[in-house]
């Protein structure tokens, strides 16, 4: 059921039911953090493996502090500057946070979302809400209430907050202490990038170092949330060179597609067929903020066209730093990337 009734949403959460919530990034599938059955239900409903931890959504910094056992000045400063907003901070968890939420990790991801309806909801519930994106595991994230409804057959209460403003998931920043030195690692790219974080922290004279290497491509879980495939539409997405010519290169493309071996879970979602006849092009704005907002909705509507594949032409500007977060998602959503960076 799609509704704008925040009071009812709050009641349902307090009774241990799941509610889909709007955020500025994507819609989330939420449960109160103190309701173990509801938390389990998130994983079951999403068909998400229990090893993939949930992000905890808080109403303010004080509530965030109740979820963690360490709240360094760096976290305080970042929260002051970027919250409410699309930045998740990963810090050592407090006793309030169960292993079900963190998948047994000793850390928890917390963020304060910016959407006014969810902000009001968090105030009414007076408890943090655990919420992953409201899609089936591995698939395209929802940026409209109707997307959430189309994902699940269950009777789900969906709080309708319109189209998501940012359109891609929050940036995830892990903060650790290594030999007395603060270390930062961007586990997931998002709207807020390393440069913006540096700007805020260097301005306040913080001393810290960046740790990289979190983006190895692997079918196995290197670290949570870092799999090679994710965000996949129900029709295979293929990334091609800007000059790709369907008529001349269709046979070559078919050969490439025939050679693709997706891991079993993803093959069920986006396995290409052996005789492609039609394609739909995914065309995004050249302006990255707008493109991020369009990305998932456009992927979904392209897939709805019952086409054999979705084509995305990779241009040189797509490889610039302002496109990194979108490019990361396109790459993971793609069944095949048939383009050489060098030749662009």
Torsion of CA 247, 249, 252, 257, to 10 degrees: -80
Is residue 133 within the footprint of Mg ion (CB under 5 A)? Answer: yes
Q: Measured from the CB of residue 95, what is the shortest distance to ligand TXA in angstroms?
A: 15
Q: Measured from the CB of residue 43, what is the shortest distance to Mg ion in angstroms?
A: 12
Q: What is the DSSP string of 275-335?
A: S---EEE----SSHHHHHHHHHHHHHHHHHTT-SEEEEEPPGGGGSGGGHHHHHHHHHHEE
Nearer to ligand TXA among residue 17 and residue 339 (C-beta): 17
The binder of 170, among Mg ion, ligand TXA, none, by C-beta within 5 to 8 A per type, is ligand TXA
Nearer to ligand TXA among residue 106 and residue 126 (C-beta): 106
The token duo for 226 is 């870092």
Instruction: Summarize as ranges the residues that interact with ligand TXA (CB under 6 A).
Output: 23, 25-26, 28, 52-55, 86, 88, 90, 102, 105, 107-109, 113, 131-133, 169-170, 172, 187, 224-225
The binder of 28, among ligand TXA, Mg ion, none, by C-beta within 5 to 8 A per type, is ligand TXA
* Residues 107/90, Cβ–Cβ less than 8 Å: yes
Give dist(CA 237, CA 251) in Å, integer: 17
Q: Which stretch binds Mg ion (CB under 5 A): 66-74, 130-138, 192-200, 276-284?
A: 130-138
Instruction: Classify 193 as helix, strand or coil.
Output: coil
Q: Measured from the CB of residue 295, what is the shortest distance to ligand TXA in angstroms?
A: 13
Closest CA to 238 of 143, 292, 168, 308: 308
Give dist(CA 210, CA 37) in Å, integer: 38
Q: Which stretch binds Mg ion (CB under 5 A): 104-112, 133-141, 244-252, 317-325?
A: 133-141
Is residue 189 within the footprint of Mg ion (CB under 5 A)? Answer: no
Nearer to ligand TXA among residue 133 and residue 335 (C-beta): 133
* Residues 98/43, Cβ–Cβ less than 8 Å: no
Q: Measured from the CB of residue 283, what is the shortest distance to Mg ion in angstroms?
A: 24
């Amino acid at each position: 059921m799609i509704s704008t009734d925040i009071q009812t949403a709050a009641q349902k959460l307090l009774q241990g039911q799941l509610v889909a919530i709007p955020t500025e990034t994507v819609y989330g599938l939420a449960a109160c953090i103190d309701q173990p059955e509801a938390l389990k239900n998130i994983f079951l409903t999403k068909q998400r493996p229990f090893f993939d931890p949930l992000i905890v959504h808080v109403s303010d910094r004080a509530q965030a502090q109740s979820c963690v056992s360490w709240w360094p000045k760096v976290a305080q400063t970042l929260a002051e500057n970027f919250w409410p907003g699309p930045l998740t901070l990963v810090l050592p968890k407090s006793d309030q946070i169960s292993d079900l939420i963190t998948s047994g990790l000793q850390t928890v991801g917390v963020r304060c979302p910016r959407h006014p309806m969810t902000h009001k909801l968090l105030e009414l519930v007076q408890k943090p809400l655990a919420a992953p994106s409201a899609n089936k595991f591995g698939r395209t994230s929802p940026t409209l209430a109707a997307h959430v409804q189309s994902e699940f057959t269950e009777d789900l209460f969906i709080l309708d907050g319109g189209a998501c403003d940012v359109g891609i998931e929050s940036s995830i920043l892990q903060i650790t202490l290594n030999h007395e030195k603060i270390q930062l690692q961007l586990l997931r790219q998002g709207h807020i990038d390393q440069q913006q974080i540096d700007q805020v922290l260097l301005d306040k004279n913080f001393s810290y170092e960046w740790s990289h290497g979190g983006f190895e491509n692997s079918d196995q879980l290197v670290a949570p949330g870092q799999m090679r495939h994710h965000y996949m539409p129900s029709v295979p997405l293929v990334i091609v060179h800007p000059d790709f010519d369907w008529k001349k290169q269709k046979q070559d493309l078919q050969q490439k597609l025939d050679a693709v071996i997706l891991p079993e879970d993803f093959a069920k979602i986006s396995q290409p067929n052996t005789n492609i006849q039609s394609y739909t092009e995914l065309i995004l704005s050249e302006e990255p903020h707008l493109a991020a907002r369009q990305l998932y909705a456009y992927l979904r509507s392209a897939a709805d066209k019952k086409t054999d594949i979705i084509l995305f032409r990779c241009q040189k500007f797509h490889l610039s730093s302002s496109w990194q977060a979108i490019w990361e998602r396109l790459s993971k959503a793609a069944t095949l990337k048939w383009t050489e960076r060098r030749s662009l």
